[in-house]
Amino acid sequence: MEFPGSRPTAAKPRSSAFPLATKPGLAGILPASTVHLTGALALSLYFSFCSLAFAAPTAERTADDTAAATRKSAADEFRAPSLLEKKKDTSFTISDEDVKPAAKVSPEEFKQAFPSIKKAIDQKDFVTAAKILTPLAEGGEKNAQYELANLYFSGQGVPRNLTQSAKWAEAAANQGHSGAQYLMGGFCLLGQGTQSNPERAVRWFRLASDQGHRDAQFSLGMCYMRGEGVEADKPTGLKWLMQAAELGSTAAQTALGDYYAASEPDRAFKYMSSAANAGNAQARFTLGQFYNRGIGCKPDDKKAFAMWKSAADRGNADAQRTVGLAYRDGVGVAADLKLAFEWVKKSAEQGNVKAACDIAQHYIRGVGVAQNNEEAVKWFSKSAKAGDPLAQNSLGALYLEGRGVKQDPEEALKWFKRAGAQGYKIAQENAEMVYKQIRQGNASTFAVDRKGHQGTLKN
């Protein structure tokens, strides 16, 4: 049995059921992968933009973002602030009034305290780490200021306080700490802990980039690509992205892979493969799309599924939904409706809007799970409230029939109108028909025609 408005089944491996990209091609300005003592930046710093190459609705984590599960030891994560020496553009120099007095605590004193800090971090004793770092930071030692900023950002050892985090990050940034400059760029871009100021964000990203900070280079490249805080300049943006990619930024490699997919597929495949091989979950998902579509390679659905599954196992919600669709339609793997339901549900539980609509259809049709109208209403509602027109139309149909919810023609009309406002033709037709019947006073006699996917209504 089909439900009105359900998405078409994948008839062929390279059908529209597997869109090339379901997240922004150039994933975001902040890859959320700054390396510092206390771990990766929190995901709230992940700033997503529309794709330069493909349209997409959701922001999602990359392998750079997987945080504690794959976190390196403190000793491995601590690195010197400067990797490259480059001549700086004076137009991006910090003003004199921003420069703080010379530190009272020397780098040598921080170096001596580092073993105690490392021990505390390794034992997850962040309170002790904060106690050791605070006097060093107050004495002006930039590395301690930076690490304390990260503790305040993550709320480890101290109450989470973005204003305090920005305060210590700026103090370290003004002394030339590249990681702190990158962190300040993120704060200024998002307006977290300080006022939103994209132009100042670009300045901080540039200062950190000039010191070889690859995440800052990626962020700066994205700012130029999108015209965020600076006049859009794709050649300059690509230059910074390529520089970040050469330094091993999987976020930059993924972005470049997406960017070149249409114009230079071989080059795109090379970038995406590099990021995927380094463990980037988003790159693995997109590389699976490349294999599915034959972009820069021969079409191979088994390899596509292997990549999707690898990304899904790492928590990528887009990949989890795609694995579910693959199990549903037997693309690169034997069809299994129960597994299809399980994987799509994992994606829906992470907030994937389309997956929520898919799950609702599983429940309403009893495919891979026991039929349950109430659960269908629950998941259609989640997706509909997030703006999915198919879910809005389907939810309207359920309200009209009173399936899993009290019959309510007015509520049905509301959802049909919302879907129709997005250009969904079936919903527009449904809204018109329901409106006429409500005026005639016999809307309660409506039923949904389940023959196919048309979603038409009848008396």
Q: What is the pLDDT of residue 31?
A: 61
Whether residue 452 has pLDDT greater than 80: no
Whether residue 349 has pLDDT greater than 90: yes
Whether residue 139 has pLDDT greater than 80: yes
Report the range of poorest mean pLDDT among 99-103, 153-157, 254-258, 320-324.
99-103
Q: What is the pLDDT of residue 295?
A: 97
178 or 10, higher pLDDT: 178
Q: In the chain, pLDDT over 70 holds for what percent of residues?
A: 74
pLDDT band at 109 (very low <50, low <70, confident <90, very high): confident
Q: In the chain, pLDDT over 90 holds for what percent of residues?
A: 71
Helical H runs in 211-300?
A: 214-226, 234-246, 250-259, 265-277, 281-293
How much is the average pLDDT of 303-332?
A: 98
* Domains contained in the chain, CATH given: 69-251 (1.25.40.10), 372-458 (no CATH)
68 or 109, higher pLDDT: 109
Tokens 């259809």 belong to residue: 361
pLDDT in tens, 30-58: 664 433 443 333 222 333 332 222 222 22
Backbone angles phi, psi at 447, to 5 degrees: -140, 155
Q: What is the pLDDT of residue 116?
A: 94
Whether residue 242 has pLDDT greater than 60: yes
Report the range of poorest mean pLDDT among 173-187, 346-360, 438-452.
438-452
SS3 447: strand
Q: What is the pLDDT of residue 29?
A: 63
pLDDT in tens, 178-233: 999 999 999 999 999 999 999 999 999 999 999 999 999 999 999 999 999 999 99
How much is the average pLDDT of 107-123?
A: 91
Pairwise CA distance, residues 427 & 452, whole Å: 15
Whether residue 3 has pLDDT greater than 90: no
How much is the average pLDDT of 291-312?
A: 98
Whether residue 22 has pLDDT greater than 70: no
- For 188, the token pair is 């200024």
Pairwise CA distance, residues 65 & 281, whole Å: 9
Q: What is the pLDDT of residue 86?
A: 32
Pairwise CA distance, residues 396 & 409, whole Å: 8
Pairwise CA distance, residues 178 & 172, whole Å: 9
pLDDT in tens, 400-417: 999 999 999 999 999 999
SS3 457: strand
Q: What is the pLDDT of residue 442?
A: 66
Whether residue 97 has pLDDT greater than 80: no
The pLDDT mean for the chain works out to 80
pLDDT band at 27 (very low <50, low <70, confident <90, very high): very low
155 or 48, higher pLDDT: 155
pLDDT band at 421 (very low <50, low <70, confident <90, very high): very high
Backbone angles phi, psi at 448, to 5 degrees: -90, 130
How much is the average pLDDT of 133-160?
A: 95
Report the range of poorest mean pLDDT among 53-67, 174-188, 320-334, 356-370.
53-67
Beta-bridge partners for 417? none
Q: What is the pLDDT of residue 167?
A: 97
Q: What is the pLDDT of residue 103?
A: 60
Q: What is the pLDDT of residue 443?
A: 58
pLDDT band at 444 (very low <50, low <70, confident <90, very high): low
Whether residue 134 has pLDDT greater than 50: yes
> What is this structure's pTM?
0.76
Whether residue 284 has pLDDT greater than 60: yes
33 or 129, higher pLDDT: 129
74 or 225, higher pLDDT: 225
Q: What is the pLDDT of residue 438?
A: 87
Beta-bridge partners for 448? 457
Please state the length of the chain.
459
Backbone angles phi, psi at 458, to 5 degrees: -140, 160
363 or 96, higher pLDDT: 363
Residue 313 Cα to chain centre, angstroms: 16
